């Protein structure tokens, strides 16, 4: 019995020594490794307060002013106004209304003319978006200041897709900024994403690719990028299926995809953020093992950035 206890104590001491040695080794590696690159900071666009729109309607302005001073009844709706400086797809129709005074009352001439924005214009706004690859090419060239390439790449730049167009951004942060703009102006049927950023083929690029191609949904981005996790026995279909599940629960917007990465912004954060981070770790272990370093760090990063970058080594 005493021999058995001695053996157990010996095993415990050996495990403790091995654990301490591993910790020392990890500490030495951290001190020797370069500082990690700060992850892309996703900042969803926030609507800024705007100054009231001036009523530059010519004769209509005079009519409105006179009607209000005289306590006239409700003004008839005018034709939609052209808003100077607005892109065609952002045009909004305005209604001019007044308040009908009660019998025996005189309308207060200081009461402002009400401007009501008609927001149910999604179908009309879609008409003004970029409908074709050629229209998207022109906008991509305007944004980047480059001549667009007649292809995109996949498999770390080794293969080309002639059905897409692309430009090269200086880095992934700028690439995602361009992607965010392009996604806001593309009609349904077109997708945009930040693609290849590691180049092992004939194209010896140093930046991040921005791609526009055909796609019915954002998940076609992952299909165009041919993303897989072969070292974890997950093909492209499995990755798309998991992303669709996450989207159904929380809402995501895919911004980047390449041979072994997918990046997406989250519409809302899960209430159980810790549980969600554990789910992400099960789906993509390298997000912690070769990324944040711990689930707690991943949770903090996700809460701060509201952006997830999956990476399978």
Encode pLDDT of 191-250 as tens digits.
999 999 999 988 888 999 999 999 999 999 999 999 999 989 999 999 999 999 999 999
Encode pLDDT of 110-162 as tens digits.
444 333 333 444 455 566 799 999 999 999 999 999 999 999 999 999 999 99
Report the distance separating Cα 291 and Cα 311, nearest Å: 9
Q: Phi and psi at residue 238, in whole multiples of 5°?
A: -65, -40
Show me where the domains of the chain are located: 59-126, 129-268
| Neighbour-count burial of 75, counting CB atoms closer than 10 A to its CB (0-12 exposed, 13-18 middle, 19+ buried) | middle
* DSSP H helical ranges for the chain: 2-32, 59-69, 122-127, 133-144, 172-185, 220-225, 236-250, 273-283, 286-287, 295-305
Ranges 69-73, 109-113, 189-193, most confident? 189-193
pLDDT of residue 131: 94
Q: Is residue 160 helix, strand or coil?
A: strand
Work out the pLDDT band at 17, boundaries 50, 70, 90.
low
pLDDT of residue 202: 85
| Neighbour-count burial of 311, counting CB atoms closer than 10 A to its CB (0-12 exposed, 13-18 middle, 19+ buried) | middle
- CB distance 196 to 169 below 8 Å: no
pLDDT of residue 107: 41
- CB distance 281 to 298 below 8 Å: yes
pLDDT of residue 197: 94
Residue carrying structure tokens 């992303």: 243
Report the distance separating Cα 262 and Cα 218, nearest Å: 12
In terms of Cα–Cα distance, which of 131, 123, 128, 244 is closest to 189? 131
| Neighbour-count burial of 124, counting CB atoms closer than 10 A to its CB (0-12 exposed, 13-18 middle, 19+ buried) | middle
CA atoms within 13 A on the CB side of 305: 17
Mean of all residue pLDDT scores within the chain = 76
DSSP 8-class letter at 116? E
Per-residue pLDDT for 274 more than 70? Answer: yes
CA distances from 161 to 112, 192, 213, 226 (A): 57, 14, 9, 11
């Amino acid at each position: 019995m005493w021999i058995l206890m001695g053996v157990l104590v010996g095993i415990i001491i050996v495990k403790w020594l091995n654990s301490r040695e591993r910790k020392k080794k990890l500490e030495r590696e951290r001190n020797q490794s370069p500082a990690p690159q700060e992850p892309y900071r996703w900042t969803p666009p926030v609507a800024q307060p705007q100054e009231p729109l001036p009523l530059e309607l010519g004769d209509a302005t005079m009519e409105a002013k006179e009607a209000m001073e005289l306590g006239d009844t409700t003004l008839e709706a005018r034709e939609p106004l052209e808003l100077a400086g607005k892109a065609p797809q952002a045009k909004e129709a305005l209604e001019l209304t007044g308040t009908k005074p009660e019998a025996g009352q005189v309308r207060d001439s200081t009461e402002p003319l009400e401007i009501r924005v008609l927001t149910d214009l999604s179908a009309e706004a879609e008409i003004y978006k970029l409908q074709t690859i050629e229209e998207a090419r022109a906008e991509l060239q305007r944004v980047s200041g480059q001549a667009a390439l007649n292809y995109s790449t996949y498999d770390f730049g080794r293969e080309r897709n002639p059905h897409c167009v692309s430009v090269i951004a200086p880095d992934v942060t700028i690439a995602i900024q361009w992607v965010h703009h392009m996604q806001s102006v593309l009609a349904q049927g077109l997708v945009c994403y930040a693609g290849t950023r590691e180049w092992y083929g004939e194209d010896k690029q140093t930046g991040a690719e921005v791609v526009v191609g055909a796609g019915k949904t954002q998940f076609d981005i992952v299909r165009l990028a041919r993303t897989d996790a072969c070292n974890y026995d997950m093909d492209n279909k499995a990755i798309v299926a998991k992303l669709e599940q996450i989207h159904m629960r929380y809402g995501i917007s895919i911004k980047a995809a390449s041979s072994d990465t997918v990046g997406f912004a989250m519409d809302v954060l899960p209430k159980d953020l810790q549980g969600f981070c554990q789910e992400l770790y099960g789906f993509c272990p390298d997000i912690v093992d070769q990324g944040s370093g711990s689930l707690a760090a991943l949770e903090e990063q996700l809460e701060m950035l509201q952006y997830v970058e999956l990476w399978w080594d």
